[in-house]
Amino acid sequence: MAGPLSHLRVLDLSRVLAGPWATQNLADLGAEVIKVERPGTGDDTRGWGPPWLRDGDDRETRESAYFLSVNRNKKSITLDLSRPEGQRLAKELAGRSQVLVENYKVGTLSRYGLGYEDLRRSNPGLVYCSVTGFGQDGPYAPRPGYDFVFQGMGGLMSITGERDGQPGAGPQKVGIAITDVLTGMYASVAIAAALTHRERTGEGQYIDCALLDTIIAFNSNQIVSFFCSGRLPIRWGNAHPQVVPYEVFATSDGHIILAVGNDSQFASFCQAAGCPELAQETRFRTNSQRIVHRAELTPLIAEVMRTRSKREWIEALEAANVPCGPINNMKEVFEDPQVRHRGLRIDMPHPLGGVAPMVASPMRLSGTPVDYRQAPPLLGQHNAEIYGGLLGMSEAEIAQLGADGII
């Protein structure tokens, strides 16, 4: 069955992570996504290896794992947007598209005649999404932006990391480029909303997505707590500021997460752990008291947790309906029976032979499911299809564009 967005064409002028994350979501939902890349080099992330994909003969290719992770279901064409002929072709493609996504520095595409105001005149229904570090206006708008910087500027690192006074204390970034990923997700939602408006009215619109805005919105619950209390949130490491016990504990052979969310779960934990008397103590009977007496309770639990292995604890706590879980490495994640059942690894045939291993989309639609149509493309793989089929150019014209370095 065709995907819910299979009637749409997306012109993807973005690269690296935030923009491509958004366009991969649209592609997974059925949209035809035409990824425009620089001739010769392509998206920056094509060169971000090792690790590299291995082909059908187990030889190392020059297709980076990073690029593979966020560019499936797309078609790649090459086009030099800095040259007038490249700009003319981009305008033609934009005129045949319903969505355009870009992440150039503020003002760059307008200088090329490819800004929203330029394109909407001939395509008033175009949904045009710009993804930048700081947004289209304000004193920082011209600056380049990087995920790490925004994790610091937006406050996330001030609440991430071990508590002051503990070994290893200090601000810490998240282990993935979370600002980029979240901005891509917000962009996807905004595009879907703009398309709904377009289908009702025929009108397109401009979407301004900023990484700084995104990471601040992501911190909303901590920020609103600060607004209401006037108290700055602090780093809690693996602990929780309002729930105890809710953190990582060492076992006899590793670590597990113990996430006791209410008083009945605490009583169940104490019973399963062989220390039911803890749940009866006034200091620990309610979560409010456990927060007040955190420094007394946590060492007692830590001592008990070291008496059994990870597996023993997880089996005992799951049987008692106490929330808990392992801390898996990436290999262990995909050995988990639930992960296997959900089919969260997919292998897509790759043009260079062999398969491209990928992570499945978490979007599960009953009537129009995600369709994995093609692996991330080779650079310029679809030049003939798009320039010849969509724009109607002859083989000789396409060859001349290549000879001139336009594509």
What pLDDT is attached to residue 256? 96
With respect to residue 169, please indicate whether it lies within any of the assigned structural domains.
yes
Domain containing residue 267: CATH number: 3.30.1540.10
Q: Of the candidates 304, 328, 352, which is a domain's last residue?
A: 328
Let me know whether 361 and 315 are in one domain: no
Let me know whether 363 and 259 are in one domain: no
With respect to residue 313, please indicate whether it lies within any of the assigned structural domains.
yes
What does the alpha-carbon distance between residue 247 and residue 275 come to, in Å, rounded to a whole number? 19
Domain containing residue 212: CATH number: 3.40.50.10540
With respect to residue 232, please indicate whether it lies within any of the assigned structural domains.
no
What does the alpha-carbon distance between residue 12 and residue 76 come to, in Å, rounded to a whole number? 9
Provide the residue-wise pLDDT of the chain in tens; the chain has 407 residues. Answer: 789 999 999 999 999 999 999 999 999 999 999 999 999 999 999 999 999 999 988 999 999 999 999 999 999 999 999 999 999 999 999 999 999 999 999 999 999 999 999 999 999 999 999 999 999 999 999 999 899 999 999 999 999 999 998 889 999 999 999 999 999 999 999 999 999 999 999 999 999 999 999 999 999 999 999 999 999 999 999 999 889 999 999 999 999 999 999 999 999 999 999 999 999 999 999 999 999 999 999 999 999 999 999 999 999 999 999 999 999 999 999 999 999 999 999 999 999 999 999 999 999 999 999 999 999 999 999 999 999 999 999 999 999 999 999 99
With respect to residue 275, please indicate whether it lies within any of the assigned structural domains.
yes
Let me know whether 128 and 156 are in one domain: yes
Q: Of the candidates 328, 355, 390, which is a domain's last residue?
A: 328
With respect to residue 16, please indicate whether it lies within any of the assigned structural domains.
yes
> What does the DSSP assignment read for 130-143?
EEESS-SSSTTTTS
Q: List C-alpha distances in Å: 385 to 51, 66, 76, 197.
A: 30, 25, 10, 31
Whole domain around residue 262: which residue ranges? 246-328
Let me know whether 76 and 121 are in one domain: yes
Q: What is the CA radius of gyration of the chain?
A: 26
What pLDDT is attached to residue 405? 96
How many Cβ atoms from other residues are within 10 Å of residue 383's Cβ?
A: 20
- In terms of Cα–Cα distance, which of 347, 313, 310 is closest to 332? 310
Let me know whether 317 and 368 are in one domain: no
Give Cα 239 to chain centroid, integer Å. Answer: 25
With respect to residue 286, please indicate whether it lies within any of the assigned structural domains.
yes
Give Cα 211 to chain centroid, integer Å. Answer: 12
Let me know whether 208 and 253 are in one domain: no
> What does the DSSP assignment read for 307-367?
TS-HHHHHHHHHHTT--EEE---HHHHTTSHHHHHHT-EEEEE-TTSSEEEEEPPS---SS
Let me know whether 287 and 392 are in one domain: no
What pLDDT is attached to residue 388? 97
Let me know whether 261 and 209 are in one domain: no
What pLDDT is attached to residue 294? 95
With respect to residue 335, please indicate whether it lies within any of the assigned structural domains.
no
What does the alpha-carbon distance between residue 391 and residue 407 come to, in Å, rounded to a whole number? 14
Task: Count the domains in the chain.
Answer: 2
Let me know whether 261 and 379 are in one domain: no
Let me know whether 26 and 149 are in one domain: yes
With respect to residue 238, please indicate whether it lies within any of the assigned structural domains.
no
Let me know whether 266 and 387 are in one domain: no
What pLDDT is attached to residue 242? 87
Q: Of the candidates 282, 297, 328, which is a domain's last residue?
A: 328
Tens of pLDDT along 198-238?
999 999 999 999 999 999 999 999 999 999 999 999 999 99
Tens of pLDDT along 363-386?
999 999 999 999 999 999 999 999
Let me know whether 160 and 295 are in one domain: no
Tens of pLDDT along 12-57?
999 999 999 999 999 999 999 999 999 999 999 999 999 999 998 8
What pLDDT is attached to residue 356? 96
368 Cβ contact list (under 8 Å, min separation 6) = 1, 2, 3, 4, 29, 30
Active-site option among 28, 80, 180, 213: 180
Q: Does the annotation mark 118 as catalytic?
A: no
What pLDDT is attached to residue 2? 87
